Structure 1
Amino acid sequence: MSWHSRRLAAFDIETTGVDPESDRIVTAAVALVGDGRPTESFAWLVDPGVEIPAGATAVHGITTAQARAEGRHPAAAVEAITALLAAQLRAGVPVIAFNARFDLTTLDREARRHGVTPLVDRVGGAQGLLVVDPFVLDKQYDRYRRGKRTLGAVCEHYAIPLLDAHDADADALAAARVAYRLATRLPELRETELRALHAQQVGWAAEQAASLEEYFREQGRAERIERAWPVVPEPLPAVALAA
């Protein structure tokens, strides 16, 4: 049986911003789907411990007041999310995440921020990760398609309904559906063993980042695009130089 027909752990987060090094989780969802079994959905509303900017609230709808009144403590939420994903990975169930680099790196930094054992450390290092990223796959297998590559745009392209965009549970399920749709259409994708597919995505994500960086350079923009995937290594601490 192909990986796409077995159990999948779809994961998504909504945050205070777009920088995984400093921004915080506001909502998160994990949906266990497929394999002929009922879907199991887990969702968290988190008090990030900081103000939620108005721009972020406009995207996901969660205000600072709501998060403080109804949200879980971030350490408890991050522990629960990380433990659930780690259990799935240890059972051989892949994590499906659209633009996994952002979601999983943010989760990693939140874990370190709150003294929670990070996902990478729970599964024996980077080699224990098993991730399928529809964002990377779509760009690899349809690289010359024009237009946006947001989850909403990709869902529209593949005729996948997404009624509550930026709701973490809806986005997680949509990511799983995109991965499933891609695998049903592409024999070479569904016939690739999961470990091999994960390794291929490491390379593809790096190539895609380098290509985008080169495009920016041609436009006169000196931006560096992160190549690491699915979790960006933690930055080394700054070292003070002697005067």
Structure 2
Amino acid sequence: MPELHLILMLMGAAFAAGFVDAIAGGGGLITVPALMLAGVPPAQALATNKIQGVFGTATAALSYARRGLVDLRAQRTQAAVAFAGGLTGAICVTALPTDLLRYVLPVVLIGIAIFFALKPGLNDTDRARRMAPALFTATVVPAIAFYDGLLGPGAGAFLMLGFVMLAGYGILKATAHTKLLNFASNLGGLVAFAFVGKPLWLLGLAMAAAQIAGATLGARLAMRIGARVIKPLLVLTSTGLALRLIWQML
């Protein structure tokens, strides 16, 4: 367990991560490096990050649901699929080669940032659906959830892109619908990491308290302003994730 001043620093990082994650995803960009800077080994940092991530995404999901932007009961099947995907991805962390994915991921994230920055007409209005809900649940949800358990960075942005481009949701509605699935894949990953990653439970719960506060504030801001705050923050977090991954490789 880190010293008190490090715990307070990590709680500050968790608050910021909860705020950003509730709006655009990418909270792990803040918390995982912060945990590693505090001296937590990489595998244990990923495991501990899942603890506070579960609470943050749950808070955001409930906040959006209370405003009627998402029906959590209607997402039960998708959430179950996301849980299984996150669990499977985390179990496969040590069995699958992830180096190639680390090289491809920055390019994909920058592509997402450019798409949301430059594509006209992306707002809070729903548009034509390009994929049936059942097919979306059977393909897009488990693929992204598996990735979330395996690596994690950018999973929220990928889900957002899927809901906008394939499900035809507006920006705010897409944001609201990602949160329960993020929660479920985080929970699946946490179950797996609890056995292999040895998470720091007390530290994770302390960070979770700050993450809840940040997620509540972030969700309220997103619901008040909508696409005008979500799009820029999504572009910034996707670009930041890409630059961080490039820096790690170099």
TM-score (norm 1): 0.28
Q: Choose 1 or 2 for highest CA Rg.
A: 1
> Which fold has the larger relative contact order, with Cα–Cα distance below 8 Å and residues 6 or more apart in sequence?
2
Q: Which has the higher helix share?
A: 2
